Every structure is written in C-alpha cells, then in structure tokens.
C-alpha cells in the first residue's frame, strides 16, 4: 500500500551540524502525521523527517485488512519507494508495535529505534467507547461543538475527544466526515494480539520513552523489552501517561534530543 506522508527537510542553524540521516515517525491508533508536527519539526534539526499516515488513518488508503505485519509491509514499501536506508524509526503505541516488529523482522536495517510508551507484547482492543464516539451519523450536525457534545456521551475525557477530532474533516458542502476508516479498525479487534509470539532478538540501539503513570506499561514489561531488544535504554517521564509527546512535550523533546546527541556524537 502506498502511504501518505509529510516531509520535514533537515534544517539546523548550526552550519557545523551534519544530518544524522532520515527519521521516520509512525503514529498510534486513531492518530496521523497531523499529530506529530511539533515533534517532526524538532527532529528536523537532526535529519530529514518523514511523518507517515499508516493505513486506514489520515490521508492514506483504507483497507478491510488492518494488522501489525501488514503495516510493517507498508513501511517496507514506503522505505523502498523513497530509497530510505538505515533510518531512525520513531513509533508511538500502535506505531511502536509496527516499528518493533519491523526491526525484529529486518535485523540490521535500522540505524536506531525510538519507542514511545508501548511494549513488545499483546494488548487488548479496549477502544469500544472511542469507536462508538465516531460511529454515529454525522448528517445534521452543523458544527464541531455539536459533534463534540454527542461524542461526550461515549468519551468523557476532553483530551481524548480533541485527539479523535483531529480526524474530523469538513467537506465543501459543510458536512463532516471521519478521515479514519472507523469501520475497518473496528473489525480489526485482534490487531494487537500475538504479534511477538516468536523468538527474535534485535541489537538495534533502542530508546524506550515511557510515561511514568502510563496504563500501557507494567513493571513486567521492562524485562520483555530487554528480552527482545538487547541494546536498549529506558527513560521514564514522571507524571506522564500514554501521550507524553503532547502532555509533557518540553521534557519529552529534551529527553529525545539528549539521547540522539549522545548516541550519535
């Protein structure tokens, strides 16, 4: 599948700084490249950045099939099409699962791996309310405020609703539509099951950026990370949850930048 993406060319005010190479960002479930503009601009000080819309998200094509292996195949196609070699790969949540799977299936291909708040294991599809909040007919709604009020019946968290509404697009005739393939994602409820049920080891330099209060990371996950990724560093952002690139952006970028500088001096 040919994916939509946005490019952020390498730009650094210090003329002595050289590009580290290409950096590819993979968003999480219900996200898109649109959620990563600030991080992508920050990373463009280190190399050329590609922010991808994964299948069924953003402006990329929709498909009835939605799985981690298929998204890894999409990534391989993308890298080959643009002749990107030895990239730095950053993945959040679902994108992190894709990034880890891709690295384990393509040993030695990546320059380094950055994983945000996810572990290489199975996760339940616990997004019924999010799906419901995007499944009611949008005809008859005249504003985002009206849609938000209806969505609040299913998702109480304002932050999550605003995150989901980044996928809401207004047509020329004034009507609204979801850019997400909501139905396709809803039918892929086993997308996070048994992805890492194999024995493979990666020696890729890997950074795990974790939310200190995240519900996605258990203490037992740390040893799982070590089992698959032998050359890893774990950095916890205290007080942070699953969306630390939003909620704790300043410290997130600081930790990310420090690691990149230390890794590639």
Q: How far is CA 151 from CA 20, 155, 247, in A?
A: 42, 6, 22
Catalytic annotation present for 143: no
At 133, list the tokens.
């909040």
Considering the candidates 32, 33, 44, 93, report the single residue annotated as catalytic: 93
Considering the candidates 19, 63, 76, 183, report the single residue annotated as catalytic: 183
- Cβ–Cβ contacts within 10 Å for residue 2, how many? 11
* CA neighbor of 36 nearest in space, from 91, 102, 80: 91
Please state the pTM of the whole predicted model.
0.96
Catalytic annotation present for 175: no
Burial of 24: CB neighbours in 10 Å, binned 0-12, 13-18, 19+: buried
Domains and CATH numbers, the chain: 5-123+191-263 (3.40.50.1820), 128-186 (no CATH)
Catalytic annotation present for 242: yes
Residue 206 or residue 261, greater confidence: 206
Q: How many CA atoms lie within 13 A of 128 on its CB side?
A: 2
At 209-254, the pLDDT tens digits run 999 999 999 999 999 999 999 999 999 999 999 999 999 999 999 9
Pairing between β-strand 176-178 and β-strand 168-170 as defined by DSSP bridges:
antiparallel
At 167-184, the pLDDT tens digits run 999 999 989 999 999 999
Residues with Cβ within 8 Å of 199's Cβ and at least 6 positions away in sequence, in order, are none
Considering the candidates 27, 57, 242, 245, report the single residue annotated as catalytic: 242
């Amino acid at each position: 599948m040919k994916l939509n993406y946005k490019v952020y060319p390498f730009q650094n005010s210090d003329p002595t700084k050289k590009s580290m190479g290409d950096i590819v960002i993979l968003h999480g479930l219900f996200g898109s490249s649109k959620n990563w503009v600030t991080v992508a601009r920050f990373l463009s000080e280190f190399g050329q950045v590609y922010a991808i819309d994964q299948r069924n998200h953003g402006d990329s094509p929709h498909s009835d099939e939605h799985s981690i292996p298929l998204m890894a195949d999409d990534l391989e196609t993308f890298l080959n099409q643009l002749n990107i070699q030895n990239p730095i790969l950053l993945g959040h949540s679902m994108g992190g699962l894709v990034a880890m799977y891709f690295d384990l299936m393509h040993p030695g291909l990546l320059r380094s791996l950055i994983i945000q708040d996810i572990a290489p294991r199975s996760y339940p599809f616990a997004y019924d309310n999010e799906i419901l909040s995007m499944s009611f007919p949008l005809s008859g709604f005249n504003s985002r405020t009206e849609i938000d009020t209806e969505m609040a019946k299913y998702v109480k968290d304002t932050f999550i609703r605003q995150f989901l509404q980044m996928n809401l697009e207004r047509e020329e005739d004034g009507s609204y539509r979801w850019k997400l393939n909501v139905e396709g994602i809803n039918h892929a409820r086993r997308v996070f099951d048994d992805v890492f049920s194999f024995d493979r080891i990666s020696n890729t330099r890997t950074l795990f950026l974790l939310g200190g209060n995240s519900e996605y990371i258990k203490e037992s996950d740390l040893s799982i990370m070590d089992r698959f990724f032998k050359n890893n560093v774990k950095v916890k952002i205290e007080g942070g949850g699953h969306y630390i690139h939003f909620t704790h952006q300043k410290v997130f970028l600081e930790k990310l930048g420090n690691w990149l500088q230390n890794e590639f001096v």
